[in-house]
Amino acid sequence: MNRFILTAALVAKEALRYTPAGVPVIECLLEHSGEVQEADQPRQVRMSLEAIAIGSVHQQLDRIALGKVVRFEGFLAHKTLRSQRLVFHITHIEL
């Protein structure tokens, strides 16, 4: 199962665009920082992640102010068929 859940701050978002099929798309950048347990030891984690909201979820993303921390759910996939870069596809946002 490819399911990804991340609590992160929205730090950048592109202007709304549409696919050739007319589906709304917003690309954005998320930043997460926090502490997790790994091998029974605390570990500090800081990361940035490219993300994309396609379809109706774009409306929620568009209303989030930059810097606001929210919970994002979705899945990871390659950016394009020829790219190895992963992008977080947001399917649900919990404010």
pTM above 0.85? yes
Q: pLDDT at position 80, please? A: 87
CB 5 within 8 A of CB 49: no
Average pLDDT of the chain, as a whole number = 96
CATH code for the domain in which residue 18 is found: 2.40.50.140
Assess whether pLDDT exceeds 90 at residue 38: yes
Q: What is the pLDDT of residues 45-83, one digit of tens each?
A: 999 999 999 999 999 999 999 999 999 999 999 988 898
Residues of the chain above pLDDT 90, percent: 95
Domain that holds residue 60: 4-94
Contacting residues for 25 by C-beta, under 8 A, at least 6 apart: 16, 17, 18, 19, 52, 53, 54, 58
Contacting residues for 12 by C-beta, under 8 A, at least 6 apart: 28, 29, 66
